[in-house]
Structure 1
Amino acid sequence: MSPQLGNERRAADGVHSGESGRFTSPVRSSRLSPLAAPAFRYFFVGQVVNRVGSSMAGVALAFAVLDIDDSASALGWVIAASSVPMVVFMLLGGAIADRLPRAVVLRGCNLVQGVVQTATAVLVITGYAEIWHLVVLQAVAGTVFAVSYPAFLGMVPILLPVEERKAAFLLIGQATSAVGILGPAVSGVLVATAGPGWALAVDAATYLVAAGLLLLVRLPPGDRSNAKPSVIGDFLAGWAFARHLGWVIPAASASLVFNALVSGAINVLGPVIADDTIGSEGWGLARSGQAVGVFVAAFFLAKVTLRAPMRAIMIAFVVWCVPMLVLGTHVNVWVLSASFVVAGAALSLLDLAWNLLVQEKVPEEMLSRIMAIDGFFSFVATPIGQLAVGPLAIAFGAGRVQLGCFALAALVAAFALTRRRITDVRLTGGPPPQLTG
């Protein structure tokens, strides 16, 4: 099969030209130059608005659950309710995102998420929310995310030329982290004063605003003449290509463990430990540190040339887990905040390295499927981590569980760095390959 990259790659108003679909840039790439393309600009603003609400929602949902049932297990069930359908439908979601116009897919997903979060906020504000209500609503949200996640990750390469993409990836991470710096802290204060329902209501509104902004991202339909007759056929073609690449599945299998550890130890057990020590305000402030780390690291990463992306990714994964060391020993607001700053810097490096690797090695028509396969492996064990951490904390103590999770993360990274399929991958700066039969 040979790719036909046509119309969808010729859509970033005035930034590239040519009948063959090759990009030419009228100006030298700079940190803000991706914003010169109107389609990318509307997409970018929509994602920043979305992040405003999302940065508040995590803290708000955690404490909304704890207000109903003050236990790590209850919080684990609610968060897992989102993770399970997300994993189950992720692979098909990637095929759907490659098959349909990605901007349209994202627009519909934002609308559904806005309705779901509105219902959640109303139930929490009125006091009628029960754990099963939140479980059902989060299950719907997780199903929608299974489609929106691979669609989002496939947008930048169809909006911008190759030379603009590194700046775009850093700009997205930096801008969304900037609004995320205050989001968790504001959410913590709002939860402590007005209640978690109002923070969830803000999140619902931002989903709807983001959907409206995506109406302005108008792209011609991409050439999908090589698509299979069914979504299942498209998925199977994507799976075959991932196996051909060789590094996608091994790398995603390693990240499977990291995501399970972080989702359980930090996202579930972290708020429980904070509730007994530094409170919701302290937890919100500490979590804001991660956004600070992402924001600051982007300035340095813009000047860095990555050649061995997988090595950088595995090291960054371990550094991302550093807050576990603080949560497992002595919880202090400022020390915990500093650990999240370090974790955020690692997350920025990880995200950039992966995005640059995929956009260089994967043709546009396969982007969402490869991202979905990576997402499936990355998140498949997340519900296990979320559900297991409560009983483990009861059996061994929360602090020991945190330290054990960090030790396991270090061991997995060390093992991954011995695998040549991971360590031999190199970035060359070349254009994406053409897909052949």
Structure 2
Amino acid sequence: MSTRLSPLATPAFRYFFIGQVVNRAGSSMSGVALAFAVLAISDSAADLGVVLAAWSVPSVVFMLLGGAIADRLPRAVVLRGCNLVLGVAQGLTAFLVVTGLAEVWHLAVLQFVAGTVFAVSYPAFLGMVPILLPVAERKAAFLLIGQASSAVGILGPALSGLLVATAGPGWALGFDAATYVVAAGFLSLVRLPPGDRSGAATSVLGDFVAGWSFARQLGWVIPAASASLVFNALVSGAIGVLGPSIADDTIGSTGWGLARSGQAVGVFVAAFFLARVSLKVPLRTIMITFPIWCLPMLVLGTHVSTWLLTASFVIAGAALSLLDLAWNMTVQEKVPEAMLSRIMSIDGFFSFVATPIGQLAVGPLALAFGAGRVQLGCFALAVLVGAVAATRRTVTDVRLTGAEPEATGRT
């Protein structure tokens, strides 16, 4: 019988899990640190948007090919190589920031490298659990990864905000660089059974075409990801770019870091309850939950206080935990292992393709209409899109049964 911790009894999953948690410990600090590193060089939300877009553009452009690569090669090897490259890129970023040599274009170039690598590592990571664990253990594994990652993420942003205010953002970025190298070491211990690649095409491009055809056959992947496109654009712009700028003028880096930690608290607490929840109509659940994830926009657009903003991020984190679980359970049940990374990359492509637009647009919009009005407009749009998407048949007709996917997939 599967329990909350039973996936850790499998050695390969245990090493993968530890590596992911270590990685998350660094990443939870780097977001706050990078934002304030840019603002220290140029006190401009537009410049911060450029740096963040430099990461998101290649992560989207190369995502589809990244999924084909991750399905074609051993995923643990792909992840190990990606972590090493990211460690070097983030280490160089930290060096430039600590020494005071960093300019906005330096950070943009290094984020472009990181975004390119992410385009391969993201679909590889999302395809790991089904080849490490049997179907009965997967829900517990998804919740365990989310919960443990959020546990280290609770202190990460707050500690990063404190370091930014005292030692400077470069030290938090250096810690992130070190965690990538440590995570690569744990991934080197993962031994995977060979996946079935008898249906692989003769080239990466052929694998990509096959994955695209399968996504269209399923019918629900592209519509669901297209709705996600809107929410990711809104969150990346309103919270990722305007959020630190508003915080810089109100609650400061320490308050912003504490508030951002609230999202990890929400993910951690929600996992205890989600372990007992049976999801039947997962995509409709996702569409209803998406606007709740956007709740911090409402606070940022009205009255910004550290505790109120933190509470909104706690609620957003609980919503994020639910929608992540619903999506992962849907894909694991409906998509065969050999297609997993490609389907995840197609989802990632559509989900993130508008993220650079959100990051680049909010700065000029805030100058034209005011940051508060932009936040409230983004939240209103999130509610509208979620309400419409939750009624579409491509969303409501997808049901979970708990069975393994067939070799050719099922709807």
TM-score exceeds 0.5: yes
5+ residue gaps, structure 1, are 1-27
SS for the counterpart of 1:283 is helix
Alignment equivalent of 1:62, drawn from 25, 35, 59: 35
Matched letter for residue 303 of structure 1:
R
Query: Once the two structures are aligned, what percentage of the paired residues are identical?
Result: 81
Distance 2:190 2:164 in 1: 35
SS for the counterpart of 2:151 is helix
Matched letter for residue 318 of structure 2:
A
| Structure 1 residues 227 and 269: alpha-carbon distance in aligned structure 2, compared to 1, 3 A threshold | same
Question: Residue 368 of structure 2 aligns with which residue?
Answer: 395
User: Is 1:258 aligned with 2:231?
Assistant: yes
Question: Residue 276 of structure 2 aligns with which residue?
Answer: 303
Q: Aligned ranges for residues 171-182 of structure 1 at < 5 Å?
A: 171-182=144-155
Distance 1:397 1:96 in 2: 43
Distance 1:414 1:436 in 2: 29
User: Is 1:116 aligned with 2:89?
Assistant: yes
Matched letter for residue 262 of structure 1:
V
Distance 1:41 1:253 in 2: 34
Question: Residue 237 of structure 1 aligns with which residue?
Answer: 210
Alignment equivalent of 2:58, drawn from 81, 85, 92: 85
Root mean square deviation, CA, Å: 0.9
User: Is 1:195 aligned with 2:168?
Assistant: yes
Cα deviation, 1:145-166, whole Å, max 9, x if unaligned, reads 0000000000000000000000
Matched letter for residue 114 of structure 2:
A
Distance 2:328 2:365 in 1: 35
User: Is 1:314 aligned with 2:284?
Assistant: no
User: Is 1:38 aligned with 2:11?
Assistant: yes
Distance 2:281 2:55 in 1: 34
Matched letter for residue 175 of structure 1:
A
Question: Residue 158 of structure 2 aligns with which residue?
Answer: 185
Matched letter for residue 357 of structure 1:
T
SS for the counterpart of 1:240 is helix
Distance 1:363 1:424 in 2: 20
Question: Residue 250 of structure 2 aligns with which residue?
Answer: 277
SS for the counterpart of 2:154 is helix
Structure 1 runs of 4+ with >2 Å offset:
220-223
Question: Residue 323 of structure 1 aligns with which residue?
Answer: 296
Distance 2:312 2:118 in 1: 28
Q: CA deviation at 1:436?
A: 7.4
Query: What is the total number of aligned residue pairs between the two structures?
Result: 410
Larger displacement relative to structure 2 (218-227 or 197-206): 218-227
Cα deviation, 1:66-89, whole Å, max 9, x if unaligned, reads 000000000000000000000000
Distance 2:270 2:203 in 1: 42
Does structure 1 retain, via aligned residues, the 8 Å contact 2:70–2:120?
yes
SS for the counterpart of 1:64 is helix
Distance 2:281 2:364 in 1: 39
SS for the counterpart of 1:303 is coil
TM-score, scaled to structure 2: 0.99
Distance 1:224 1:250 in 2: 28
| Structure 1 residues 212 and 237: alpha-carbon distance in aligned structure 2, compared to 1, 3 A threshold | same
Q: CA deviation at 1:224?
A: 1.4
Distance 2:387 2:396 in 1: 11
Matched letter for residue 272 of structure 1:
S
SS for the counterpart of 2:62 is helix
Cα deviation, 1:126-145, whole Å, max 9, x if unaligned, reads 00000010010000000000
Cα deviation, 1:219-260, whole Å, max 9, x if unaligned, reads 243231221011110001000000000000000000000000
User: Is 1:416 aligned with 2:389?
Assistant: yes
Does structure 1 retain, via aligned residues, the 8 Å contact 2:147–2:271?
yes
